Structure 1
Amino acid sequence: MKSLHKNKTWDLVKLPKGKKTIRCKWVFKKKEGTLEAEEPRYKARLVAKGYNQIPGVDFTDVFSPVVKHSSIRALLGIVAMHDLELEQLDVKTAFLHGELVEDIYMQQLESFTVLEKEDYVCLLKKSLYGLKQSPRQWYKRFDSFMTSHDFKRSSFDSCVYFKKNSDGSFVYLLLYVDDMLIAAKDKGEIRKVKAQLSEEFEMKDLGPAKKILGMEILRDRKTSKLYLSQKGLSSALSLQPDDEIEYMSHVPYSSTVGSLMYSMVCSRPDLSYVVSAVSRYMANPSKEHWKAVQWILRYLRGTIDVCLQFGRAEDGTIGYVDDDFAGDLDRRRSLTGYVFTIGGCAISWKATLQTTVALSTTEAEYMAITEACKEAI
């Protein structure tokens, strides 16, 4: 409530004739600490019931970009190669910073109705969690702030910002909703950016980067090595003991494959091909398909410690691409596979069926290399 009042999120007004209100509710969450010894935090969040919003009346555009996983890995590669400082920030109540352009009326909050104004409603001035346009309005506000402070936005990833210093070095900032990674050669440069951000937004300084999107960042400055790991996720995906196999058989196929897919997208290029294969049968999986998923889970259990390792090799960016002609027995489509590395560590990868049937190995190769060239750019 302090955050909401401090941010001047709404004005109390009489509801105009012909206007409808949307409802709201409190959502309570226990957020585990990023470190083992860190105490969990108990959070209360006010959420607007945005499913009542009417398109064209209560909102128009809703799309908001987030940083690509390959951009995060590319930055980690640059950090390891050039021994940059890497720190993390979190925006407190990020969505409350977005400015609203539409008139949206919301009922007063449960347990916080203002005395003698019980029939008044909240005219929202700032966005709230749950509103359709909240992510977009927050991104627009943040983007406007960054560009006004001499940062350039990447034309290839709308959530990558960079600024060139007078000595030729760069400051990089990556944004994923309310999580930020900042990298620079000098800690003073990072402090300067943090100070600018703190003047505009309420920030939480998380210090050296330890975790992003469920991925652990481990760093050994002495050996110039940086590791990206998903130990926590991998162990959560492991199969249960034999007496629970019956229980496991009732796990929905699609949600299990979805979990594997997230692991693959983040830090496990070795899963690309198999996840591509099992995800083709989401609509109607058979027992054999479920067995294949179980094999992947067993493989994960035995390779929990496998992670991406970034170092100081001066290889730059290198890409590899290949295809498997007519490898899909159901529809005879070919498979495109590529991987790009920085300093010898994979930062971008894909194994996916081509969208059309190739009539020759040459055509399949052209389609594969076209996809890889787009990613290289």
Structure 2
Amino acid sequence: MHDLELEQLDVKTAFLHGELEEDIYMQQPEGFTISEKEDYVCLLKKSIYAAKDKGEIRKVKVQLSEEFEMKDLGPAKKILAMEILRDRKVSKLYLSKKGYIEKVLCRFNMQSAKPVSTPLTAHFRLSSALSPQSDDEIEYMSHVPHSSVVGSLMYTMVCSRPDLSYAVSAVSKYMANPGEEHWKAFQWILIYLRGTTDVCLQFEKIEDGVIGYVDADSARDLDRRRSLTGYVFRIGGCTISWKATLQTTVALSTTEVEYMAITEACKEAIWLKGLFSELNEDHQISTVFCDSQSTIFLTKDQMFHERTKHIDVQYHFVRDIIARGDIVVSKISTHENPADMMTKSLPITKFEHCLNLVVVEALKKEMDVLKGELVLCNAIVGNDMLTVIPRHKIEVPKSKEFQGCQVYKGRRQQFLGNGTILLNYWHR
């Protein structure tokens, strides 16, 4: 949002060195209970990782470099297995999990699979009825690494891939007892990742408030006929929060389904407003877009209605926050609602349109100008293909010499050509 500098520091056991400013007591740790004093509690003298105030202990960070060993990692390049890429010319930042995804694909032998265009298609109608029934099916599925696959997919989705939200939500329900058809759905998502390793989140310097999009799909769950809620939030054109989850109760109408979905989205909007308030960002009013006009009327109508009197009180709090003006709920066309991809399988064209709406794009499309492609050939030393050597001199190739040359992509460095030619090259 502000194109600020982002640095990384690695402090060894930083929390353990912080002094406590108040008395904190804790139960005796398991395995270290003092005989005949089991009802005693312990007084903490130093911080431990379980201490509730560990965030406050981070105040000592400024003094750590003087008091303790600390490694300066320089500009942030990776966090939680997410690669951080920046284009300072246009003030853009990218979060990519390409490296992590490639490792996952190799782990489950999917690195050579033929890619598909969507995370999950409509022909997958998953239910508990597809779980193993016979001993042979149970034996077969016991050797399938379904738990590891779902865990990897969940982590990928939570970090930087909102496009996986619906698919991961749909398959994770059957993680405890999946059948062969469930396993095929797990594999389908991996195959989709095979063709979208470059997809990433894009952040740029745009001044805008918190904007949310919410959608719901009635009776999506084939087992209990519960409905699915999906929302996605953006700020300054940047996607920052997303979720696809089953509703806890069975709704009796599509209006009720959308009403409960709006309530969940507004709860997230309130939390995001509080977060940005802590960061001294002035975003007073949040807007949540919904494609159901009848539901929007219901959020603003305080009158008693026979058809909606059974809706749980917990969902009616949304009326109060809307009446106070804290959040504005507005109508949006279904075709322009990116949350649509959070609740159902979509055709390729509509799915790609939703990705564009939340600025989730392939890294290679956005980074072509930043990376570029430089054909390197005819190295002065040995006249061989240029290997990855910084500041190595080359001859400027003639047109006929471009055939058979090799292209290098990767992290940018400077390559100094012969004479006054200064070229950019990339090494892995």
Residue 372 of structure 1 aligns with an amino acid whose one-letter code is A
**Offset, 1:204:** 2.6
Q: Which residue of 2 aligns with 1:180?
A: none
SS at match of 1:85: coil
Match of 1:232 among 96, 99, 115: 99
Q: Which residue of 2 aligns with 1:25?
A: none
**Offset, 1:106:** 9.8
Q: Which residue of 1 aligns with 2:167?
A: 274
Q: Which residue of 1 aligns with 2:198?
A: 305
State the distance in 2 between where 1:83 and 1:362 align: 41
Q: Which residue of 2 aligns with 1:212?
A: 79
Alignment of 1:140-179 (within 5 A): 140-144=53-57, 146=59
**Offset, 1:197:** 4.3
State the distance in 1 between where 2:30 and 2:240 align: 45
Alignment of 1:218-257 (within 5 A): 218-238=85-105, 239-240=108-109, 250-257=143-150
Q: Is the 8 A contact 2:110 2:190 kept in 1?
A: no
Q: Which residue of 2 aligns with 1:373?
A: 266
State the distance in 1 between where 2:64 and 2:210 align: 32
State the distance in 2 between where 1:375 and 1:325 align: 21
Q: Which runs of 4+ in 1 moved over 6 A?
A: 102-107, 241-244
Q: Is the 8 A contact 2:146 2:175 kept in 1?
A: yes
State the distance in 2 between where 1:252 and 1:135 align: 32
State the distance in 2 between where 1:261 and 1:105 align: 32
**Offset, 1:315:** 3.2
SS at match of 2:86: strand
Q: Which stretch shifts more, 283-292 or 202-211?
A: 202-211
Between the aligned residues of both structures, percent identity stands at 74
Relative to total residues, which structure has the larger strand share, 1 or 2?
1
Alignment of 1:62-141 (within 5 A): 81-94=1-14, 96-97=16-17, 126=46, 134-137=48-51, 140-141=53-54
Deviation sequence 1:140-198 (CA, Å, 0-9, x none): 2541453xx8xxxxxxxxxxxxxxxxxxxxxxxxxxxxxxxxxxxxxxxxxxxx64443
Please give the root-mean-square deviation of Cα atoms over the aligned residues, in Å.
3.3
Q: Which residue of 2 aligns with 1:178?
A: none
Residue 263 of structure 1 aligns with an amino acid whose one-letter code is T
Alignment: residue pair count: 227
**Offset, 1:202:** 4.4
**Offset, 1:364:** 1.0
State the distance in 2 between where 1:105 and 1:325 align: 47
Q: Which stretch shifts more, 82-91 or 278-287?
A: 82-91
State the distance in 1 between where 2:185 and 2:30 align: 51
Q: Which residue of 2 aligns with 1:361?
A: 254
Q: Is the 8 A contact 2:10 2:70 kept in 1?
A: yes
Q: Which stretch shifts more, 91-100 or 253-262?
A: 91-100
SS at match of 2:8: strand
Q: Is the 8 A contact 1:272 1:350 kept in 2?
A: yes
Q: Which residue of 2 aligns with 1:283?
A: 176
Residue 210 of structure 1 aligns with an amino acid whose one-letter code is K
- Structure number with greater CO (CA < 8 Å, separation at least 6) is 1
- Give TM-score, length-normalised by structure 1: 0.54
- Give TM-score, length-normalised by structure 2: 0.48
State the distance in 2 between where 1:248 and 1:304 align: 28
Change (3 A) 1:358 1:199: farther
**Offset, 1:351:** 0.5
**Offset, 1:208:** 1.3
State the distance in 2 between where 1:230 and 1:338 align: 22
Match of 2:70 among 203, 228, 245: 203
**Offset, 1:366:** 1.4
Matched, 1:262 2:182: no
State the distance in 2 between where 1:367 and 1:105 align: 42
Q: Is the 8 A contact 1:240 1:248 kept in 2?
A: no
Change (3 A) 1:249 1:223: farther
Residue 209 of structure 1 aligns with an amino acid whose one-letter code is A
State the distance in 2 between where 1:298 and 1:233 align: 15
State the distance in 1 between where 2:171 and 2:30 align: 46
State the distance in 1 between where 2:74 and 2:208 align: 30
**Offset, 1:285:** 0.4
**Offset, 1:363:** 1.4
Change (3 A) 1:367 1:242: closer
State the distance in 1 between where 2:30 and 2:235 align: 50
Residue 303 of structure 1 aligns with an amino acid whose one-letter code is T
**Offset, 1:256:** 0.9
Change (3 A) 1:236 1:144: closer
Q: Which residue of 2 aligns with 1:339?
A: 232
Q: Is the 8 A contact 2:102 2:111 kept in 1?
A: no
SS at match of 2:49: helix
Q: Is the 8 A contact 2:110 2:191 kept in 1?
A: no
**Offset, 1:90:** 2.2
State the distance in 1 between where 2:194 and 2:104 align: 8
